[in-house]
């Protein structure tokens, strides 16, 4: 209805409801990005299995609440016993791939990898707060600058460990990136990486000793199994061994969280035990995984896992909840992801998931070879960066203007269909505060084909020719 100034105020909740076929048409008109040609190369998702889609309407119709966490056993919210058992089974199937068992691991499905990371850090904070802190310095968070934004500044802010939301603009390079700490980032301690973006143990030790000399005795370490820019995997087994050495040598306590939001559904299936990322490393306390990326589940499909008994550290007594304890950030949550996971993991099997991942890795290797062949004379313009052999990521430097592609070319030019995303990695890997090198994260998903890779390389080459870079 028009207002006095002629503007429509259709944004208001109408006083009287009405049947309008246009509402249904509008919803039916929504389009999946995965059905584009080519599909988005770096979009973190995939078309869902038709067998799963057939189950969705009935699950939604039953309005099932997955409130609580159910791997502990005991009394859960009444009326939902069936889905609670399915979630337990799905959590333990996932745990079995990362060194866990029903006797050693608790967990629940949640609202994506961001919530799973926050849950792990929340448990870590409460775990450390129960320990002596002789100098009252609080908790230092040790991680690389390639961790997900849910660690810093979102997670550290929510937990009261930092007071920053945005990066500062650098006077040297003119870009916004992390600058040396101040009082707002005092508890955040960044660790250098190697050329492949993996946490450097020499830098870790240096950063730790500096914090130790300042009086810190409590530490959260966050390692990543599949960074969202480079697909790099921190050396989790080696970090765990280092933690044991430091706890034996000094009067300190660590909490070790692993963000495996991407790698959790790839590495265990193709690394053949060469790259432990979870509870097979004794020092790991908690993990975040994300089934809506390579797990084939609908959004949101986050999974929070922790050692048995740690979940209760963040529990609240709630009189009106059956069982009287709530230990999750979500509270009430959809049962869609755990029920579909229960179905998919059993029907697909470990071998099915391995083939699913291996196909992506083969397509990634094909793209890398095509790029290296096509731009062998111009490596300063197009250069694949080192990447993990077990992640379907290919980080790529594409230098057109000042180290990156102008946004106009991505939005309107030949590269527009590819949804290219860029981020910065420190130019000096051992200096987390060095000015960034801009890289593009190319994520190869199961719906990408050889034809899509060849078309992308052709379009990239044509774009570079049009702007005179090759």
- Judged by average pLDDT, the poorest of 166-175, 194-203, 238-247 is 166-175
Asked if 337 and 369 sit in the same domain, the reply is no
* Domain-embedded: residue 97: yes
- What confidence tier does 73 reach under pLDDT thresholds 50, 70, 90? confident
Asked if 311 and 419 sit in the same domain, the reply is no
Q: Is the pLDDT of residue 43 over 80?
A: no
Compute CA distances 152 → 117, 141, 143, 219, whole Å.
10, 9, 9, 15
* Domain-embedded: residue 91: yes
Residue numbers of the domain that contains 431? 350-466
Look at residues 290, 319, 346 and tell me which one is the last residue of a structural domain.
Answer: 346
Instruction: Name the burial class of residue 15, with classes exposed (0-12), middle (13-18) and buried (19+) by CB atoms within 10 angstroms of its CB.
Output: exposed
Q: Which long-range contacts (CB under 8 A, 24 or more apart) does 78-81 make?
A: 78/322, 80/335
Asked if 339 and 407 sit in the same domain, the reply is no
- What confidence tier does 315 reach under pLDDT thresholds 50, 70, 90? confident
Residue 202 belongs to what H/E stretch? helix 201-213
* Domain-embedded: residue 71: no
Q: What CA–CA distance (Å, rounded) separates 271 from 283?
A: 20
Look at residues 317, 346, 375 and tell me which one is the last residue of a structural domain.
Answer: 346
- Walk across the sheet containing 139-143 and list its strands: 105-110, 302-307, 286-290, 253-260, 218-224, 139-143, 188-190
Average pLDDT for 367-395: 94
Asked if 329 and 372 sit in the same domain, the reply is no
Q: What CA–CA distance (Å, rounded) separates 445 from 361?
A: 9
* Domain-embedded: residue 52: no
What's the CATH number where 380 sits? 3.90.1150.10
Q: Do 290 and 261 contact (CB within 8 A), yes or no? A: yes
* Count of structural domains, the chain: 2
Q: Which residue in the block uniquely carries the two structure tokens 């009082």? A: 183
Q: Is the pLDDT of residue 254 over 90?
A: yes
Average pLDDT for 401-416: 81
Asked if 181 and 294 sit in the same domain, the reply is yes
Look at residues 320, 346, 372 and tell me which one is the last residue of a structural domain.
Answer: 346
pLDDT of amino acid 1: 39
* Domain-embedded: residue 2: no
* Domain-embedded: residue 44: no
Asked if 195 and 316 sit in the same domain, the reply is yes
Average pLDDT for 234-239: 98
Judged by DSSP in three states, 308 sits in: coil
Q: What CA–CA distance (Å, rounded) separates 444 from 393?
A: 6
């Amino acid at each position: 209805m028009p207002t006095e100034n002629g503007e429509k105020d259709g944004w208001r909740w109408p006083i009287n409801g009405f049947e309008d076929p246009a509402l249904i048409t509008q919803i039916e008109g929504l389009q999946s990005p995965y059905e584009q040609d080519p599909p988005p190369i770096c979009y973190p998702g995939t078309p869902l299995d038709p067998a799963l889609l057939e189950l969705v309407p009935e699950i939604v119709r039953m309005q099932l609440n997955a409130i609580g966490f159910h791997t502990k056993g005991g009394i859960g919210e009444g009326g939902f016993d069936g889905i609670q058992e399915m979630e337990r089974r799905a959590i333990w199937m996932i745990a079995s791939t990362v060194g866990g068992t029903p006797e050693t691991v608790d967990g629940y499905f949640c609202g994506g990898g961001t919530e799973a990371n926050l849950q792990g850090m929340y448990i870590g904070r409460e775990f450390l707060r129960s320990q002596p802190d002789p100098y009252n310095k609080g908790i230092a968070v040790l991680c690389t600058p390639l961790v997900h934004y849910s660690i810093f500044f979102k997670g550290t802010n929510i937990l009261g460990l930092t007071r920053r939301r945005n990066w500062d603009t650098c006077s040297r390079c003119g870009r916004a990136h992390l600058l040396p700490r101040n009082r707002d980032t005092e508890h955040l301690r960044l660790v250098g990486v190697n050329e492949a973006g993996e946490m450097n143990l020499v830098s870790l030790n240096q950063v730790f000793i500096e914090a130790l000399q300042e009086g810190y005795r409590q530490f959260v370490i966050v390692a990543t199994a599949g960074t969202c820019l480079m697909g790099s995997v921190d050396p989790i087994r080696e970090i765990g061994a280092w933690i044991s050495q430091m706890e034996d040598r000094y009067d300190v306590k660590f909490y070790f969280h692993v963000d495996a939001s991407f790698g959790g559904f790839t590495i265990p299936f193709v690394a053949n035990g060469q790259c432990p990322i979870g509870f097979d490393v004794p020092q790991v306390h908690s993990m975040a995984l994300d089934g809506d990326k390579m797990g084939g589940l609908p959004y949101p499909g986050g999974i929070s896992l922790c050692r048995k008994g740690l979940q209760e550290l963040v529990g609240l007594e709630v009189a009106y909840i059956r069982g009287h304890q709530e230990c999750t950030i979500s509270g009430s949550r959809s049962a869609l992801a755990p029920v579909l996971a229960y179905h998919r993991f059993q029907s697909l099997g470990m071998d099915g998931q391995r083939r699913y991942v291996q196909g992506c890795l083969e397509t990634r290797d094909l793209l890398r070879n095509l790029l290296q062949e096509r731009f062998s004379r111009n490596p300063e313009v197009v250069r694949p960066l080192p990447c993990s052999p077990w992640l379907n990521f290919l980080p790529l430097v594409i230098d057109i203007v000042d180290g990156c592609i102008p946004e106009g070319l991505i939005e309107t030019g030949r590269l527009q269909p590819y949804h290219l995303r860029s981020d910065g990695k420190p130019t000096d890997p051992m200096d987390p505060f060095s000015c960034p090198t801009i890289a593009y994260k190319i994520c190869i998903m199961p719906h990408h084909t050889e034809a899509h890779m060849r078309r992308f390389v052709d379009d990239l080459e044509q774009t570079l020719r049009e702007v005179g870079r090759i």
